[in-house]
């Protein structure tokens, strides 16, 4: 995994490259509801659409789906539990995790994503 964006902060690097997690309710995209697309903070690949963002109350930006083939999934067995890690399919940067407790009326999935892993492009 390599750093592509030279302007990443140390916090962003800790998340993208060392799988850290930002503090809940700290992220700058948590309550953004503008129309646009969320891109990887490292490589700029488009990952999520604002139409798929929802307020899960969990403290991190949440989406009920990722754009097709833009993210990769890995089993994560840290913290004595089995979770599914989500990373950028393009650069491998860590984004967050996906849980099966999302909105039942759509996909039933909750992609719980660090704001610091993302950048936003308004439509
Ligand atoms: Zn990326």
Calculate mean pLDDT across residues 89-96.
98
**Residue-range domain boundaries for the chain:** 27-122
Check pLDDT > 90 for residue 62: yes
Q: How far is the CA of 90 from the centre of ligand 1 (A)?
A: 5
Could you give the CA distance from residue 118 to residue 122 in angstroms, rounded to a whole number? 13
Is residue 88 annotated as part of the catalytic site, yes or no? no
Calculate mean pLDDT across residues 114-122.
97
Classify domain 27-122 by CATH number. 2.170.150.20
Structure tokens at 71: 């993210």
Q: What is the CA radius of gyration of the chain?
A: 13
So what's the pLDDT on residue 48? 98
Calculate mean pLDDT across residues 85-99.
98
Q: Which of 121, 120, 117, 123 is nearest to 21 (CA)?
A: 117
So what's the pLDDT on residue 6? 97
Out of 40, 43, 91, 112, the active site residue is 112
Segment 72-88, tens digit of pLDDT:
999 999 989 999 999 99
Segment 1-21, tens digit of pLDDT:
899 999 999 999 999 999 999
Q: What is the pTM of this model?
A: 0.96
Q: How far is the CA of 46 from the centre of ligand 1 (A)?
A: 8
User: Where are any strands of DSSP class E within 41-93?
Assistant: 46-49, 53-54, 62-63, 71-76, 83-88
Q: How far is the CA of 29 from the centre of ligand 1 (A)?
A: 17
Calculate mean pLDDT across residues 51-71.
97
10: part of which helix (H) or strand (E)? helix 10-18
Q: How far is the CA of 94 from the centre of ligand 1 (A)?
A: 8
């Amino acid at each position: 995994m390599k750093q592509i964006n030279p302007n990443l902060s140390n916090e962003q690097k800790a998340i993208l490259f060392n799988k850290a997690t930002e503090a809940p309710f700290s992220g700058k995209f948590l309550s953004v509801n503008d129309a646009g697309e969320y891109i990887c903070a490292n490589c700029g690949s488009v990952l999520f659409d604002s139409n798929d963002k929802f307020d899960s109350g969990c403290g991190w930006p949440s989406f009920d789906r990722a754009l097709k083939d833009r993210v990769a999934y890995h089993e994560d067995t840290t913290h004595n539990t089995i979770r599914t890690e989500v990373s950028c399919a393009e650069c491998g940067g860590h984004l967050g995790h996906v849980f099966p407790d999302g909105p039942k009326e759509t996909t039933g999935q909750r992609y719980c994503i660090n704001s610091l892993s993302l950048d936003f492009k308004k439509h």
